[in-house]
Amino acid sequence: MSRYDNMTYLRCGKSGLKLPLISLGGWHNFETPDRARELTLKAWDMGITHFDFANNYGPPPGSAEINFGHLMKSDLAAHRDELIISSKAGYHMWAGPYGEWGSRKYLTASLNQSLKRLQVDYVDIFYSHRFDPDTPLDETMGALSQAVREGKALYAGISSYPAKAVKKAAKIMEGLGTPLVINQSSYNILDRWIEGKVLEETADAGLGMIVFCPLAQGLLTDRYLKGIPHDSRAASPTGFLKSDRVTPKLVSVLQELNSIAASRGQTLARMALGWILKDPRICSLLIGASRPQQIEDCVAVRNDAPFTDEELQNIETILAKLNPPATSVTPVEAAVQSTTKSTAKKLIKLKPLTKPSNKQAI
């Protein structure tokens, strides 16, 4: 039995690209070579062929790509053609006016740097990591298109773009003969901002939707059912998941969700992943993990039963106990969407808000 028998592969939009149901990201836990290796090889053994990075993943920024790059020269050296490696540029990476956002200068330089760190000739997917309200979209898309034409990326994608920008970006790339294939956005039981327009525009444009933070950075797992474990992300002094997010009310809601998961014979993490997969427009769930067993648990979602209407309704009833409601944003999404808000206003020709400066790695 090969690793590929353990995994389901879904078509990414209307493209020829197939992605594993579960993909692994290096935003967290790839900052040390040993853990990066342990997680990557576990994922690879389980049929996970897609590994997602960005220029600034670390800390320090770039270290996640460097550690994965070592693996491309060692354990994975013979497997380049079996892997989908992605990178992104958009957030702050270096000092000065060319170290973030969406100019051709920044995107091109950043991709060249990422290729060196990853020790590959090309990435499979290169993303514009966030919409830039001040750079013409034609320029940002032109840089992605150029990357594809130069063979430095096989496919182009966008991340956390507001709905109207998804539509415009897809049209520009179509016109350039290098169509966008994928949109990467946050989505989970507690964060629903893409429901409606973003998912609709993404599917209408023929793009696949890969979902990041499907476990709300670990909140939608058994990690926080009894408070905050010392080795969890919320206990870490760095990062977007702050301990004050783990309120008694949230914990009580998570415990109730966990009871539904238990009645379905699955972990809360698997239930949270399965809940997303009920939408056929989703082509991959981009998880993070701090230990190999978590990857194993997440991959098991592919064998779980679909939800009954009653279970889905019960989940909504439990979520309604949260105030603010579940559809409000979590800190990471708020950071991502701080761009989105100004952008949305600009797109509908209202006065744009001040462009946020976000130097934290997303």
Residue 54 or 141: which CB sits closer to ligand NDP? 54
Name 181's Cβ contacts closer than 8 Å, sequence gap at least 6. 12, 13, 15, 17, 125, 155, 156, 157, 207, 208
**Helix, strand counts (H, E) of the chain:** 11, 10
User: Contacts with ligand NDP in 169-198 (CB under 6 A)?
Assistant: 184
Nearest distance from residue 279's CB to ligand NDP, in Å? Answer: 17
How far apart CA 301 and CA 20 sit, in angstroms, is 12
User: Contacts with ligand NDP in 94-133 (CB under 6 A)?
Assistant: 129
Residue 23 or 146: which CB sits closer to ligand NDP? 23
Residue with tokens 């989505």: 187
C-alpha to C-alpha distances, 292 to 76, 89, 296, 297, nearest whole angstrom: 17, 28, 7, 9
Nearest distance from residue 258's CB to ligand NDP, in Å? Answer: 11
Q: What is the Cα Rg of the chain in Å?
A: 19
Nearest distance from residue 226's CB to ligand NDP, in Å? Answer: 13
Residue 22 or 315: which CB sits closer to ligand NDP? 22
Nearest distance from residue 24's CB to ligand NDP, in Å? Answer: 7
User: Contacts with ligand NDP in 250-269 (CB under 6 A)?
Assistant: 269
User: Is the bond leading into 179 cis (omega within 30 degrees of zero)?
Assistant: no
* 139, 222, 279, 311: residue in contact with ligand NDP (rule CB under 6 A): 222
Residue 17 or 246: which CB sits closer to ligand NDP? 246
* 12, 336, 344, 347: residue in contact with ligand NDP (rule CB under 6 A): 336
Residues in the interface with ligand NDP (CB under 6 A) total 33
Nearest distance from residue 121's CB to ligand NDP, in Å? Answer: 22
Nearest distance from residue 72's CB to ligand NDP, in Å? Answer: 17
Does residue 216 interact with ligand NDP by CB under 6 A? yes
Applying CB under 6 A, the span of 77-85, 206-214, 252-260, 312-320 interacting with ligand NDP comes to 206-214
**Vertex 238: Cα angle to 234 and 243 (nearest 5):** 25
Per-residue binding letters, 271-310, with ligand NDP (x by CB under 6 A): ---------------xxxxx---x--xx------------
Residue 201 or 297: which CB sits closer to ligand NDP? 297
Q: How is residue 130 annotated by DSSP? A: S
Residue 119: alpha-carbon gap to chain centroid: 22
How far apart CA 150 and CA 166 sit, in angstroms, is 23
Residue 239 or 352: which CB sits closer to ligand NDP? 239
Per-residue binding letters, 137-176, with ligand NDP (x by CB under 6 A): ----------------------xx----------------
Per DSSP (E only), the strands in the chain are 9-11, 18-20, 22-25, 50-52, 84-89, 123-128, 153-159, 180-186, 208-212, 282-287
Nearest distance from residue 309's CB to ligand NDP, in Å? Answer: 26
DSSP H or E stretch at residue 111: helix 104-118
User: Contacts with ligand NDP in 4-43 (CB under 6 A)?
Assistant: 25-28
Structure tokens at 44: 């690879």
Nearest distance from residue 29's CB to ligand NDP, in Å? Answer: 6
Nearest distance from residue 221's CB to ligand NDP, in Å? Answer: 3
How far apart CA 92 and CA 110 sit, in angstroms, is 11
Residue 25 or 179: which CB sits closer to ligand NDP? 25
How far apart CA 141 and CA 178 sit, in angstroms, is 9
- Strand pairing report for 18-20 and 9-11: antiparallel
Does residue 337 interact with ligand NDP by CB under 6 A? no
Instruction: Judge contact between 133 and 349, C-beta under 8 A.
Output: no
How far apart CA 107 and CA 272 sit, in angstroms, is 34
The residues binding ligand NDP (CB under 6 A) are 25-28, 52, 129, 159-160, 184, 212-218, 221-223, 232-233, 269, 286-290, 294, 297-298, 332, 336, 362
